[in-house]
Structure 1
């Protein structure tokens, strides 16, 4: 009866859209990554693994690879740490907790481009609020050119992105905390368990599904970062904040379409190779707990 009511062919339109706009471009891109497709070519020739050999020999791509891993690791850890801390605080019975939840989640719904331009002003070496606060607090020695100094530029972008996305992790952790039975926490309190004991023995283990969602999404999203880096530094100074997508954009803008497609597929493989083991480990942790 259910099969007659909801026949399988109802899914065909969605499958057709998925096939047309995802699978087909992916397969076409896979083919073009093995060609010399570029803006100056009259014909496109199959060149085998030449593009992949070239990308492994490119020092600028190695810099983008290292920066992407540093960015992803820092953002994943800081986003989840700050999101969990905010969720724990705003899960308490505070009078303004709904207002505070909205305030902390608001940056996530603002365009990264808008946030990038705002933080360009905040980080300005002369007129930015960060250096002005440092000067006003008598800490002028700590004032820096945050976006133009290779030693600080990447970490300034990391701080900006964490500020933007921490609210999303907060909401996911809050949802997980809402599903924890209050009876467990009340029983633990009666038995004399303190705040830290309840968090370590009850809340943290039961938040395993929320951790899986947050860690995986933050890791994949941060490995595909583009807008924030592009607006704040455009991959500079030099190539000190270059990441995969800014490098791919640079190659496409110079007309090296086949090579850029090969780099894009390498990023896809990198995300897959990192994401699948992390997903397996997090899912295994859910079962064990």
Structure 2
């Protein structure tokens, strides 16, 4: 596929899981991808290698989100990489994927909650703020949320942090629509990644969780990456301000 040929993209939290799948898919579609990571250098190296082996182009950018100076660190590396690869500092696609999980309301501490909000809510806001001057007209902003914002799940603080991102996505779409920039959120359901380690190597757990979906299986990173790729493409030009549920129909109701 070459639908994103000549485009540039930044995907945060892209060294593994859904972020890695998104980075690989955008690169396969022709985009030059800045693969952001926080600390796992081995994982990001593997991601860049996989992209290159598939004929794509990518470079790594490191920044520990939620820490002092994180935006300066991220955008200094991003701008240097874009300049080296393309000769200019312009961006077409921003995917805010990086996130952390947290305990339920019974056990979460103020310190853990502050860290959760810093990474899941504050970082996307200020990444967008810094990216907007670099973003070409007609660009794409895609924020990863969660189906837990519409379903009563045990991870209440995590759902809270993502609900704010959904509100941001809707209001931002109105703000930047005059430039032809679309803004959407993608909300996965339970997905087999290392953020859900209890499912990784447990087919029985996957079957139990998947049975709650209209399509009776759990999600995989590629399922989410395909939705993001659509929104990033020209085909997604008329979709903005939306929360796209990409959960396979998690908990839509009882089976009849």
* Same fold, TM-score > 0.5, yes or no: no
- More helix, by proportion: 1
TM-score by length of 1: 0.22
- More strand, by proportion: 2
